[in-house]
A and B are shown apart, each in its own frame.
Chain A
């Protein structure tokens, strides 16, 4: 994935959560879907909204806004699911992320991107890879792997399923 990122010439997919602009490295984005019915999986953290059927695969959908503490995503005509490929424990996993709207694919040179500020960001600084800018608008570039790794850990802690690790190694 790292290799793809360098060859993709610093292209980012920008989207909005509430009024904030966010961006994801285009290399980690697979596709963007219109909002479809999400099947809730009971007894899981609220920000994991459930699963959708992506061409026969069950893909979990995460409400980024809820994850970042910005409130639940409402269903509007602009609401989208961004399908991303993230690395969980060294394994590629496909996930969906809810966005209020998807904007554009935006090109930013490395020089245009500043390191994340220590404070004053709407979300935790560790999720941010850098800050870009379009006009007067700041764009928060997410480190998608960090977002989902921490989410997974949180998810594990909250899940009320059977105790102990799964029997996969048996």
Chain B
């Protein structure tokens, strides 16, 4: 049984990993736009949250480490330190380090800790280096000019804070009193709790927070420093900070004026409230004391009223924002998809049964059910769809690290981050894409001197795009490198006996050879030694996702590899075919047409089919699967296309379209090449789904052409 503590820790781990991913993305972006203050703030906030929650859930090492990094970033944010490559390198490694700290404890701990110290030393060195110069100018600036609002200064300032915890603040684990204690620590502070929202004891929910505070703080701190106290709790409370006095004028006077004005401003929110505030202004003025501190009573009621109005205006949309997304465990979702899959099957069975009975009432009910289960299926599947952007962001880091390692300058251009994929597809697509990108970096993009000699820009460019095309999604990895060397591939393939010497192959067919197992692109194509990543692994992984890969390349200009994938893995449209008593399903997206193949005059069967002048081999399921019986006089042939090859599949009968819920055949059948899964027919029995790509390879392979 998992304790509540563990649940929180798990939630923290998950949250921290997400924050780290964000952090990394922000850091990489910062590299391009080092002056982006928003970005710096975002980075700072992410670190702060990692630190704060880390300390809360007992990850003290993370909290301590992040604190030191954060300190450096605080100074970067204040303009005391400059953003440079050293900082980014360190920070990215810091991300890795935090990630390592998130892992369960192992005996590697001492090594990890050493790594952490090393990084912190690096940060210190960085801070020291830049500081020497920056500090002086900063100090000078402080002394001479009046400090700008955001710079640090020793002069005390006066802030007005309004802290309005959301009712659920306590439930989220934040304690407003701790936050207030932090505020008090900053300097002189007066707090005014507003308790008018507290219900009677009978109605009181001890877990909800009904109190809110106004606070006047006199402290030598920046408004950002004050805001930072609440960074960790910003989602669970509303915070308004006004700088009342920046220390340049005498306290009392200014505050007097400002408070009056502010009350008017508050009134501005609603016309009626304005009057209320104005009418109470006189009395307020009396009450305001020399220190600019306000006594509660009257003001409180005005404030409460105003707050109520503001709540009405602001809180509502905010709350809607919060409910607009919800975190759900992936396995719950998978279970839901399974259930919907079964529902679709039962629905198909009902439809079939109703058709047979011909009951009018039942028929209309069944149609209604069909519509409902259809939309239920669509919306359930759409829940599983995620944008691919997060995966792309991870690759940015990969490119940065790898290109630095190889001494190449490469930029990654991505587009189509918003393209949505099935969760499973995204998870299983990561590795093949990494393979492809590594290949582009390693073998595709030439060394800088080569690029210069070829008159190309020194910075190599790899573009990663995702887009919806019809019922599929296409991901393209393109580089502007040297391109594939068709002649070298041919030599290599002939040497390996993959093709006959002098075989007549198009460039595309030659390129496709690099997907053959053991065909090392490193040696054959660019002769750059390195990690020769087996492209066959990529091909297999894509095949497993029922996708296809296509290569386009032009020598000297670049290579582009397109991966086509189905939108979802769970449900496909299929064409049901029959051979004797057995039923099979062909994925409809791969079906080009159905034709009829009459028996030859001599009673023999042709093994090739003429499709308007194009010749395609015909595969007979009956022979392939050893099914007894004789074929009909006119055999229907389903023409399918995969990997650019077209073949015909001869069957006894084409039954029709069939919305297919794909069921895995399980471990026992994992090595069967001809089937990609099974589906359930209307009568509850199962039909096997043909793996068209494998069949094509088989058919084409027997013809002596390349591919297996």
Contact = CB atoms under 8 A, between A and B. Distances in A.
A44 B685 CA distance: 19
A166 B624 contact: no
Contact of A161 (B540, B543, B673, B687): B673
A43 B625 contact: yes
B686 interface: yes
Contacts of A168: 544, 670
**Residue in B540, B582, B624, B668 with the greatest tally of chain A CB atoms within 10 Å:** B668
Interface stretch (B121-129, B263-271, B338-346): B338-346
A41 B345 contact: no
A41 B672 contact: yes
* B contact face: mostly helix, strand, loop, or mixed: mixed
Given A43-B672, A60-B668, A159-B671, A52 B686 contact: yes
B668 A57 contact: no
Nearest to A159: B671
A56 interface: yes
Interface stretch (B141-149, B293-301, B658-666): B658-666
Contacts, number: 108
B626 interface: yes
A40 interface: yes
Given A53-B680, A58-B663, A58-B686, A41 B541 contact: no
Interface in B647-686: 661, 663-675, 677-678, 680, 684-686
Interface in A150-169: 152, 155-156, 159-162, 164-168
A136 interface: no
B538 interface: yes
Nearest to A40: B582
Contacts of B544: 166-168, 170
Contacts of B661: 56
Contacts of A166: 540, 544, 670-671
Nearest to A165: B671
Contact of B668 (A39, A48, A53, A165): A48
A167 B537 contact: yes
Contacts of B517: 164
Interface stretch (A63-71, A87-95, A106-114, A118-126): A87-95
A39 B667 contact: no
Contact of B663 (A36, A42, A56, A156): A56
A39 B671 contact: no
A19 interface: no
B431 interface: yes
B378 to A, nearest CB: 19
Contacts of B673: 160-162
B538 A170 contact: yes
Interface string A76-98: 00000000000011010111000
A51 B672 contact: no
Nearest to B625: A42
Contact of A155 (B624, B665, B668): B668
Contacts of B680: 53, 56
A155 B672 CA distance: 10
A55 B686 contact: no
Given A56-B663, A59-B666, 10 more contacts: A39-B686, A39-B687, A42-B626, A43-B626, A159-B671, A162-B671, A162-B673, A167-B544, A170-B537, A170-B541
Interface of A: 36-37, 39-44, 48, 50-53, 55-60, 88-89, 91, 93-95, 152, 155-156, 159-162, 164-168, 170
